[in-house]
Structure 1
């Protein structure tokens, strides 16, 4: 669905102008994320590879109520995952991949410059508006 300028403004302010997921302040470049993915069809183009088409496999999810404001990195990383699948994916990055796959992260960790916390992943929208 193509959002009107007013709908985009209202969506951006859904969580006080912050990304629904990481909580960063949204600037001019941000995405309207489908909470439950619309899943776009894929097509193979010879010499190019797989590309998404504009055809939605779940058009019933293309509603304003199913959208959250998201920064570009969060929306790109979430892709078409459900919130719970994405939460588990982030936990996997932290618990398995970060120190295994990144020599830089291992080095920073050894010097005490980064700390890896085993706290549950809580999205910004889940604590937005809660009293401190």
Structure 2
């Protein structure tokens, strides 16, 4: 499946700036605001696993957390993983107790990525 010959090239600063401006300094996934220096460039279609292109059409601005969690997942697999977070957290006593005291409230809303909600 994966191609072990893929070499990652450093993304030039001028391209990084364009990626950052794509969603006005917001993470394309969660929508948080970030500084240019905090932004990571995500390859929507993984270079390694899915032969994604190393070009602007395959770049998304991402915060560290989203980029780490998405890793090489497709967008739909990433969405599926996010949806299952509460179910996995439910195994933790402190999570259950936090829900009991109303500190945490689950919403069960459909997961929409920030880029899907803006033009």
Could you say which TM-score interval applies, normalised by the shorter chain? Answer: 0.7 to 0.9
Distance in 2 separating the partners of 1:104 and 1:121: 24
Q: Residue 109 of structure 2 aligns with which residue?
A: 119
Question: What SS does the corresponding residue of 1:32 show, helix, strand or coil?
Answer: strand
- Provide structure 1 residue ranges, at least 5 long, that are not aligned to the other structure: 41-56
TM-score by length of 2: 0.85
Distance in 2 separating the partners of 1:39 and 1:25: 28
Structure (1 or 2) with the greater strand fraction: 1
Shift of 1:63: 1.6
Is 2:32 the partner of 1:32? Answer: no
Tell me the alpha carbon deviations over residues 5-50 of structure 1, each in whole angstroms, 9 at most, x when there is no partner: 111111101001000001111122221000011126xxxxxxxxxx
Is 2:70 the partner of 1:62? Answer: no
Greater Rg, structure 1 or structure 2? 1
Match of residue 90, structure 2, among 69, 86, 99: 99
Is 2:14 the partner of 1:6? Answer: yes
Q: How does 1:62-101 map to 2 (within 5 A)?
A: 62-94=54-86, 96-100=87-91
Shift of 1:70: 0.2
Distance in 2 separating the partners of 1:33 and 1:24: 15
Distance in 2 separating the partners of 1:118 and 1:5: 39
- Provide structure 2 residue ranges, at least 5 long, that are not aligned to the other structure: 1-8
Distance in 2 separating the partners of 1:78 and 1:104: 25
Tell me the matched-pair count: 110
Question: What SS does the corresponding residue of 1:90 show, helix, strand or coil?
Answer: helix
TM-score by length of 1: 0.77
